[in-house]
Structure 1
Amino acid sequence: MSPMPATEPRTDRFATVPGPRQEVLPAEGRTSTALTLLVIGEDPTGTFTVPDLLDVSGTRVRIRRARNLTEAERLLRDDVNCILLELGPDTAAGLDGLRQLLRLAPQTAVLVLTAGTDTDTALAAEAVRVGAQDQLTPADLEPTHLTRAIRYAVERKRADVAQRQLTETRLLAQENSRLERGLLPTPLLQGADLRFAAHYRPGRSRALLGGDFYDTVRTPDGTVHAMIGDVCGHGPDEAALGVELRIAWRALTFAGLCGDVLLCTLQQVLEHERPDEEIFATLCQVDIAADGRSADLYLAGHPAPLVSLSGMAPQLLPYEHGGPALGLLPGTSGWERARIELGESWSLMLYTDGLIEGRIGQGPQRLGQEGMVELIGRQLAAGLGGEELLDAAVTEVRELNGEELTDDVALLLLESGS
């Protein structure tokens, strides 16, 4: 839409029209309240030829003038509290100008000025419906009435903005809840002689859940399949992609796919669904044999899990067989399997990199995988396990970081039943 047409340059008639008589209060009777009003259009009553207005309550209103929207755009600053827009006789053009102004200054109160004739009633009502806080006529431009109208408009706009922010917050919370249900599902482990625990904590900079996701299921042959992944980036698109990958992984696993074939299929899903070709996802998958004594490990650009075997200190599983992240190298296939012997008593922790990227104190040093191994080893030695172990680990990592972690953290813990 083109800007409202500029009027002819103002002549001296505006300079010769006397401003309204102001009632000057003694200094001790004035308040410190001050507002700035931007007037757009002509000045039919000469009210705005003075630099400011002052009413009996002590409210001071500074005046800025603009002949059209093009000129007004240059004068719009954060200190403008209210805008008075003169609507001309052309109803369509006037409403189009109002809509453009509301786009230029969405946080600022707007009053509209009409000629006050009977035919302007519908125009005024439509202007308020479009987004103006109120409508004035030339008879309303007396300083006391005008300053009161400005104050009321500013307060109504603040209330409208606060209500809109509250509504957006509620919608965001609902969206978070839906995404969380998709990213962090209930495991399907009926019949498995295993203990399961999980922990998720969003980073401090996240308005939404990030792209971390996990899942654990037991297939009819008794194999327990566990997975954790992380979509690069943070936001609703990445979170939604994480949900799609998690659901696809569960469906493909129950359909009988596993290992390299499953990862290749997941990569195809990612390449088809991702909003940007540069987005990729890391993933760690562990397939635990039905007897619980061995497992197959597949890594696609993801940190290796941590395993604690009976009578041994915790250690990282080997990464030598790891392959690239999903979607990082299109057409990649052949993620290798690493066979892990677990024995009778063990615990296996899968995690996202948010856990190991926290800082240690104020310096640049990161916790890293070695620091994580030491931290978990101390907590296991203290007899912690299950959710208690995961909660304690994240709490200590946050304390070492000195503040909330910047990245999301997801942890998944499986422990043998014996």
Structure 2
Amino acid sequence: MTANLSETLTLLLIEDDDGDAFLVEELLNQAVAPPKIFRARSLQEAKAQLSPKIQCVLVDLSLPDANRLEALEEVLAIAPHAAVLVLTGLRDVHVGVTAVQAGAQDYLVKQDVDARLLARSIRYSMERKRADLAQLKLVQAELITAENARLESALLPGPLLGSADIEHMTRYLPGSGGTLAGDFFDTVQTPDGAVHLVIGDVCGHGPDEAALGVALRIAWRTLVLAGQTSDTLLRTLDTLLRAERKAPEIFTTLCTATISPDLRRARMLVVGHPPPVLLRGGVVALPDGTPSGPPLGIFADVEWSEIDVPLGDDWSMMLYTDGLIEAAVGEPDGLLGVDGLVNLVREHGTIDLDRLITHVGTLSDDLAVVLVRRRKA
């Protein structure tokens, strides 16, 4: 009866006894698709042959240069993606059980091996290894998801807003890569009734950038609650960014708005960031004036200038990150852009976040949006 190894495998047999090695090779050659077999007589020889092309390792634990489980530990460390099948003698059955507990996929007693049993054990070891790797990937994905959720809650907090005259909405969508980036936003109303908003974007993607975004957001909230605003606030954030970033080329763009207690005016800082969109009495407009200055973390001794914007009695203001205007839309390689965004708001006659986001296509970057509007009396 021939063994049934249905796929051609690449195996490494680590066995110092020539007779035992010959027996195993003969049994493997009876398979429907005989595997490609490499042979090592010691752990040292095996180390030179273990590579990603090896799919399964058959290892004798009685090697001249390794003490029992030492060989297994070395194999598992060097070839973590290979299935490992341990070969033992009659007197070492308990060692085989221990080996499986230590990470091997299966064990065989040499004296009991035939072609059918060997083929079946190899198939079992391969499938169990696939299952182990799939489970590991699942656990890693769950950990990443949990970490992203934790970072997202820190990047995108609930507003500290006590006024019933302000309507506040936010949206956040990760980019096509699914990796959390450094987009952050926050809203705080201070005791004098002024409403402060920030939206920012740390360049790059990944946990380091996200963590830096968390630090900047928390620092912004702390400074605002402590009464710091405008140029002093930005200088402090710039100092923090330079101290905390992992590389000197990391910079941060942001946009802030401070709405006066009577909700009729706003002071804005546009720091290397896309300008807000303002719907004011039915008229779509970008804030008057030039950008306030370059992003944080690029130039030393920068002074940022505020932009004074009249709001009136009926207004909506949207702050966003560049993931929105860099979203694919229309023809291939077409981007929404600031003008496209303004035209959409003008066509809709209002700023409807869900409708707006539905209109854009594939996101190449994270998208964060904050919308505030004055409630009508």
Offset, 1:405: 1.2
Partner residue in 1 for 2:37: 64
From 342, 345, 348, give the equivalent of 1:376.
Answer: 345
* Corresponding position: 1:110 with 2:84: yes
* Corresponding position: 1:185 with 2:157: yes
Distance of 1:354 and 1:184 partners within structure 2: 16
Instruction: Indicate the SS of the match to 2:183.
Output: strand
From 364, 368, 372, give the equivalent of 1:410.
Answer: 368
Number of equivalenced pairs: 370
Q: Could you give the per-residue CA deviations for residues 193-229 of structure 1, whole angstroms, max 9, x where no partner exists?
A: 21111111111112x3211110001000111000000
| Alpha carbons of structure 1 residues 34 and 162: separation in structure 2 relative to 1, 3 Å | same
Matches within 5 A, 1:9-408: 23-24=1-2, 32-42=6-16, 43-45=18-20, 46-50=22-26, 52-54=28-30, 60-67=33-40, 68-73=45-50, 76-77=52-53, 80-89=54-63, 95-118=69-92, 121-122=94-95, 124-191=96-163, 193-206=165-178, 208-312=179-283, 314-318=284-288, 320-329=290-299, 331-379=300-348, 381=349, 384-385=350-351, 389-398=352-361, 404-408=362-366
**Does the 8 A contact of 2:255 with 2:275 survive in 1?**
yes
Q: Could you give the per-residue CA deviations for residues 282-329 of structure 1, whole angstroms, max 9, x where no partner exists?
A: 1100011000111111122111111111042x1222451421111122
**Does the 8 A contact of 2:2 with 2:115 survive in 1?**
no
**Does the 8 A contact of 1:241 with 1:270 survive in 2?**
yes
**Does the 8 A contact of 2:212 with 2:245 survive in 1?**
yes
Greater alpha carbon shift after TM alignment, 218-227 vs 89-98: 89-98
CA RMSD of aligned residues (A): 2.4
Offset, 1:249: 0.8
Structure 1 runs not aligned, ≥5 long = 1-22, 399-403
**Does the 8 A contact of 2:27 with 2:114 survive in 1?**
no
Offset, 1:269: 1.5
Offset, 1:96: 4.4
Offset, 1:52: 4.2
| Alpha carbons of structure 1 residues 306 and 143: separation in structure 2 relative to 1, 3 Å | same
**Does the 8 A contact of 2:319 with 2:369 survive in 1?**
yes
Instruction: Indicate the SS of the match to 1:325.
Output: coil
Instruction: Indicate the SS of the match to 2:62.
Output: coil
TM-score, normalising length: structure 1: 0.81
| Alpha carbons of structure 1 residues 32 and 155: separation in structure 2 relative to 1, 3 Å | closer
Distance of 2:86 and 2:5 partners within structure 1: 27
Offset, 1:180: 1.4
Instruction: Indicate the SS of the match to 1:117.
Output: helix
Amino acid at match of 2:256: Q
Offset, 1:48: 4.1
Greater alpha carbon shift after TM alignment, 45-54 vs 176-185: 45-54
Q: Could you give the per-residue CA deviations for residues 343-380 of structure 1, whole angstroms, max 9, x where no partner exists?
A: 1111111000011112333433322111111012112x
Partner residue in 2 for 1:10: none
Q: Could you give the per-residue CA deviations for residues 136-157 of structure 1, whole angstroms, max 9, x where no partner exists?
A: 3322432122111111111211
TM-score, normalising length: structure 2: 0.90
Offset, 1:135: 2.5
| Alpha carbons of structure 1 residues 319 and 162: separation in structure 2 relative to 1, 3 Å | farther
Distance of 1:127 and 1:415 partners within structure 2: 66
Q: Could you give the per-residue CA deviations for residues 242-269 of structure 1, whole angstroms, max 9, x where no partner exists?
A: 1111111111110111111111111122
Distance of 1:96 and 1:261 partners within structure 2: 61
Q: Could you give the per-residue CA deviations for residues 50-81 of structure 1, whole angstroms, max 9, x where no partner exists?
A: 494336xxx6441411322244235x41xx44
**Does the 8 A contact of 1:52 with 1:63 survive in 2?**
no
Distance of 1:226 and 1:151 partners within structure 2: 60
Amino acid at match of 1:406: S
**Does the 8 A contact of 1:299 with 1:319 survive in 2?**
no
Structure 2 runs not aligned, ≥5 long = none
| Alpha carbons of structure 1 residues 115 and 201: separation in structure 2 relative to 1, 3 Å | same
Distance of 2:14 and 2:229 partners within structure 1: 68
Partner residue in 2 for 1:14: none
